[in-house]
């Protein structure tokens, strides 16, 4: 597929998806949604073992492009809900369900749905100049794209309400201190840090990472006893993989493992 609003490449086990509407701070329109869906389908079908998502230019993503005719003011009242159901809901669910690590490299402002799409990723690494803004309250809306789910689980109810109701800019350094994101780094270090993480994941035991991601993300709906059963079942499954055998062999032989992702 020839992309107009994103850049996409997959090689060496690393898939890279760059939101590429810098003149609109990489805000989503209907075309971008379609292209991102296509790229994520390619990730699932490819040999990629890690996905990196970032934005072109000076921002990560400003959320929904309010100039997009699909959700512009004056349209039918159901248009926003339809856009969530058709675009943002499946996007967030796919990111959470991908059987590989997903890294958000937040290079600038992440606002509205853009902030919550970043939070839907497994690791968020942000440049020090980056910020996160739950801008919905300024438009009379509720945080979407999982915002009302991710925020209280990451930072607690008090901070989640403050972020959502006030719509204030949260600097990347404070987001890291609060546990909302994995790490804040100097702007000049962002690309190198993310590349290092991506390369590490590309050489890691992918199935084990995928099950770890799944177990943690699904744990909130289970009791401890139920979660212990899940851990037992996943260990039984992963104990039969080639990567587990390789990991044990490498440990015994005092060498670096050569994981295949199988």
List of domains in the chain: 6-202 (3.90.226.10), 206-253 (1.10.12)
Q: What is the pLDDT of residue 74?
A: 60
Q: What is the pLDDT of residue 80?
A: 87
Q: What is the pLDDT of residue 2?
A: 87
Backbone angles phi, psi at 234, to 5 degrees: -65, -40
Q: What is the pLDDT of residue 72?
A: 63
Residue 75 in contact with residue 45, Cβ under 8 Å? no
pLDDT in tens, 231-247: 999 999 999 999 999 99
Is the Cα dihedral 159, 164, 170, 173 positive or negative?
A: positive
* Paired tokens of 137: 């309250």
**In angstroms, rounded to a whole number, what is the distance separating the alpha carbons of residues 150 and 59?**
21
pLDDT in tens, 134-172: 999 999 999 999 999 999 999 999 999 999 999 999 999
Mean pLDDT taken over the chain:
95
SS3 31: helix
pTM of the model as a whole:
0.95
Q: What is the pLDDT of residue 78?
A: 58
Q: Which residues of the chain have pLDDT under 70?
A: 69-78
DSSP string, 85-146: IIIIHHHHHHHHH-SS-EEEEE-SEEETHHHHHHHTSSEEEEETT-EEE-GGGGGT---TTT
């Amino acid at each position: 597929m020839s992309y107009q609003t994103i850049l996409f490449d997959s090689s060496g086990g690393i898939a890279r998806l760059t939101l590429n509407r810098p003149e609109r701070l990489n805000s989503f329109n209907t075309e971008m949604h379609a292209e991102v869906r296509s790229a994520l389908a390619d990730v699932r079908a490819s040999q990629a073992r890690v996905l990196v998502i970032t934005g072109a230019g000076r921002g990560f993503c400003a959320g929904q492009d309010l100039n997009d005719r699909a959700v512009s003011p004056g349209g039918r009242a159901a248009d926003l809900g339809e856009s969530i159901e058709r675009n943002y809901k499946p996007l967030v669910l796919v990111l959470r369900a991908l059987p590989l690590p997903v890294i958000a490299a937040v290079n600038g402002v992440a606002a509205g749905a853009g902030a919550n799409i970043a939070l839907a990723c497994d690791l968020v690494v942000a440049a020090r100049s980056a910020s996160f803004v739950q801008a919905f309250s300024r438009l009379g809306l509720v945080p979407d794209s999982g915002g009302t789910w991710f925020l209280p689980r990451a930072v607690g109810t008090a901070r989640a309400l403050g972020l959502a109701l006030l719509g204030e800019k949260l600097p990347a350094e404070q987001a890291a201190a609060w546990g909302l994101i994995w790490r804040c780094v100097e702007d000049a270090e962002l690309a190198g840090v993310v590349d290092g993480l991506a390369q590490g994941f590309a050489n890691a035991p992918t199935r084990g990472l995928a099950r770890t991601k799944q177990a943690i993300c699904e744990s909130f709906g289970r009791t401890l006893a139920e979660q212990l059963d899940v851990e037992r079942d996943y260990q039984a499954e992963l104990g039969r993989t080639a990567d587990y055998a390789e990991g044990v062999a490498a440990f015994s032989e005092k060498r670096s493992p050569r994981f295949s992702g199988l």
